Structure 1
């Protein structure tokens, strides 16, 4: 029987299982997404820890698709997210559940997820979300080419482009479909730390572009967090 010791992890989803157990979907740093059962949650005092947005240190055992949690410890302060920040947190969890496979490590995505959770309550949430989305796409095999166009020419900040997931960036006015975006926005997304992503109109263009690209790779799957965003705007 395999045992994973002291794994940093976040809870993506949880639901009650039988009388005193809980099924959890974890996102771990070294093993990626893990499905696990936590037995005797109340008796062990885990009820307040096995919640989203609380950094954990966990131990599990088992070789099958569903592991068994044997130890759970809180590894830092939790985040009591509200309103739009909560919707963003659920949005990230839904993307991970939809675009990753169990036991497929995504180390950069894990790092970006932790940074984004920390940023959600503040003013720099959107740049952190874009960095998370880009890392998830890259490590899921859907990386975006943002610094050159479809002909291999460097993207020019002042130029207008049309970006499609299937092809990439091509000069505006050519081709069909896709999202119209300025070169400055593509280059801001490509920057290591996302410089410029907090300023308009780059921020709005980047959000619109990433939404279209993710929608394409989600295969039409609807995200419940979108309903939360619409409800908050209403």
Structure 2
């Protein structure tokens, strides 16, 4: 790992207090993937970082450090803050938590970065929040190699999704297996991010949750708790 990285496009995923006056911030960067950095003095009233290091604000950042935990040197906002409210805000926090929890440090995913910008714009417009979320979840899981190929399937065939293993043809699923079963035609539409059919939307939500929960090892998402409280 190099000692210093300059001018990286990034978004803040999560921040938390660190020592007396600093923050520990997780960033999603275009070229370096997920990066964690200490922002020294960020909690002081006069810190120049206080208004910049907010979720959903495109920034350029520079950092130094040879260990996995970096020290932020510079941050500059390079775009307009997306003012998400209500369900859009909760969904934005959910998307950020997925990236924070599922991405490995310094594992770059430039295509996923573009889809992250896409889903933020979908949340801002609030026209089709659910479709935007399913598309992002799908692309995230594809990038991580967590979904099997959904294109080479028979439309009228029923498939059992086994997280971590793949899809197998099934004829008479048990009661426990039924929530993990999907018709081939539904999976083909999910592969194309076509969520115009309400049944496909429901199937996509089940599929993504099964795959995401498997990757999390059963650990709960804080953002889901917020949805339940709302």
TM interval, short-chain normalised? 0.7 to 0.9
Q: CA contact under 8 A between 1:162 and 1:172: conserved in structure 2?
A: no
Separation in structure 2 between the aligned mates of residue 88 and residue 119 of structure 1, nearest angstrom: 11
The residue number in structure 1 matching 2:127 is 123
- 1:1-234 to structure 2, matched below 5 A, reads 2-41=3-42, 42-121=45-124, 122-148=126-152, 154-156=153-155, 158-165=156-163, 166-174=165-173, 177=177, 179-191=180-192, 194=193, 196-232=194-230
- Deviation at residue 16 of structure 1 after TM alignment: 2.1
Distance 1:169 1:108 in 2: 29
State the distance in 2 between where 1:12 and 1:73 align. 16
Give the ranges of 4+ consecutive aligned residues of structure 1 lying more than 6 Å apart after TM superposition. Answer: none
CA shift for structure 1 position 167: 2.9
Alignment-derived partner of residue 151 in structure 1: none
Q: TM-score, normalised by structure 1?
A: 0.86
How large is the RMSD of aligned CA atoms in angstroms?
A: 2.1
Question: How big is the shift at 1:93?
Answer: 1.8
**Matched residues, number:** 223
Secondary structure class of the residue paired with 1:230: helix
| Shift, 1:180, TM fit | 2.6
Q: Which deviates more, 125-134 or 110-119?
A: 125-134
Unaligned stretches of 5+ in structure 2?
Answer: none
1:64 deviates by 0.9
Measured at CA, do residues 19 and 217 of structure 1 come closer, stay the same or move farther in structure 2, by a change above 3 Å?
A: closer
What runs of 5+ residues in structure 1 fail to find an aligned partner? Answer: 149-153
